[in-house]
Amino acid sequence: MRMAHSLRTAFRESLPTRDIKYDINMNSLEKLLLHVAALSAFFYPPLTVVAQTIPNSAAIDAEVGKIMNSTHAEGMAVAVIDHGKAGYVQAYGIRNAKGDPLTTDTVMYGASLTKMVFAYTVMQLVDQGKLSLDTPIKNDLDKPLPGYSPDPVFPDKYGPYKDLADDPRWERITPRMCLTHSTGFSNFWFLEPDGKLHIHFDPGTHFSYSGEGLILLQFVIEHGRKAQGLGLDVGDLTKANFERLGMTRTSLIWRNGGQDPNVADGWNDQGQPQPHEKRTKVRVAGSMNTTISDLSKFTAALVSGDGLSRASFAEMTRPQLHIAIAHQFPLFQPDLPLNEQRKDLYAGLGVVVFDGPQGHGFFKGGHDGQTANTMVCLKASQRCVLILSNDVRSEAGFAELVRFVLGDTGVPYDWEYGDHAGKS
């Protein structure tokens, strides 16, 4: 508000006196100046904390060891990106109950980090003119969505879109809504009490985490109008990016016929070993297998905008839809009172964006009963921390480790985890 006051005062002093006959609506001008000042403060916040020196490898090793000891985690893999380059990449602990070591090339479950990879791929289609973020998906399809039958090979690959036949709100859904978790769907249709797909609120009006929304956008890309360049296999699109970046052990489906020996099993919050699930169909909500070595390359490309136009990188990582709820889960929460909402917390496209002491940042997590992953990036310094863990208990130490490496970022881990960090 200090900036707004200065702008308003300077503007008033620059005006001619009232006896010169200008018809000036001061209230309108002041409102405009306040709006400009607010936007300026939002998009160019003052950096109150200088980026700290990245700790050396020995210090990071020691900190990871401390966190694994305190959380009883069996395995963790960590990468640090600085100025858009992957430098520190290390793995710790074991990958299975036999005690085989977790290495930087061990295949680990990417979980919901798959979503940011998909969003990046979608923005490439936007760059190519094959998809528009704000064109309703109905315009990308050859027939109404409820008229499509289940996939003949994998009947549960997509949602049961016939369930939407009596709800015309599906026609309003756009790719942007799919990527900002605002379609109105549950996280997955099969979690609904009646096992059907429902729209719970008007699309585009609210944030509620939904893998189902991203799966819908996958369906549109794979079954959309070929005349506009759609009808594309998302697995092939992501594979092209992985090959370009040298990510030789990453895929959205299980590779090597199940014969790869260097694969991480997991541990749940009771310390019980769990087998690695080998997914056989591409599901952009979370079917990726990867390694810390591979995904560090993607993270470096993402934070530096490599592979995207400047406009698409900016669009993916800018505030899109304000998140006014207390925590990411449970679903369909009411908005907090205005004075309790975090004003800088927004959905980006496939990521969540925030402002902190070091400026704009974005992050994404991944989680299941035995998996804990996180990526936190700062735009100004092009710095990121990427953590993959095959033990969900390690998640309780993520905030501490990210702060140790990057300093105070403002990443909203309290919103993401609530009191569930490290729990299956």
User: Does 91 reside within a domain?
Assistant: yes
Name the band, by pLDDT with cuts 50, 70 and 90, for residue 20: very low
Domain that holds residue 78: 57-114+264-417
User: Does 151 reside within a domain?
Assistant: no
Q: Is the pLDDT of residue 412 over 90?
A: yes
pLDDT value, residue 19: 37
Same domain, 290 and 373: yes
pLDDT value, residue 257: 54
Same domain, 6 and 63: no
Looking at the 3D structure of the chain, how many domains does it have? 2
User: Does 175 reside within a domain?
Assistant: no
Same domain, 30 and 70: no
Same domain, 61 and 84: yes
Same domain, 29 and 64: no
Same domain, 319 and 401: yes
Same domain, 31 and 75: no
pLDDT, the chain, mean: 90
Which pTM does this prediction carry? 0.88
User: Does 154 reside within a domain?
Assistant: no
Q: Which of 160-169, 250-259, 309-318 has the lowest mean pLDDT?
A: 250-259
Q: How far is Cα 389 from Cα 108, in angstroms, rounded to an integer? A: 8
Structure tokens at 363: 């992050």
Spatial CA neighbour of 420 closest among 377, 365, 345 = 365
> Phi then psi for 29, rounded to 5 degrees?
-65, -40
Identify whether the C-beta of residue 203 lies closer than 8 Å to the C-beta of residue 166: no
Give the pLDDT confidence of 297-320 residue by residue, as tens digits.
999 999 999 999 999 999 999 999
User: Does 187 reside within a domain?
Assistant: no
User: Does 35 reside within a domain?
Assistant: yes
User: Does 83 reside within a domain?
Assistant: yes
Q: Is the pLDDT of residue 36 over 70?
A: no
User: Does 206 reside within a domain?
Assistant: no
Same domain, 39 and 88: no
Please compute the mean of the pLDDT values over residues 96-124 and round it to a whole number: 98
Q: Which of 8-17, 103-112, 184-193, 389-398 has the lowest mean pLDDT?
A: 8-17
Find how far residue 201's CA is from the centre of its chain.
Answer: 22
pLDDT value, residue 358: 97
Q: Is the pLDDT of residue 51 over 90?
A: no
Same domain, 17 and 64: no
Same domain, 280 and 366: yes
Q: H helices of 146-210, where?
A: 175-179
SS3 98: coil
DSSP 242-267: HHHTT-TT-BSS--GGG--S-B--EE
pLDDT value, residue 255: 75
Same domain, 106 and 12: no
Please compute the mean of the pLDDT values over residues 2-31 and round it to a whole number: 38
Q: What is the CATH number of the domain that holds 91?
A: 3.40.710.10
Same domain, 7 and 105: no
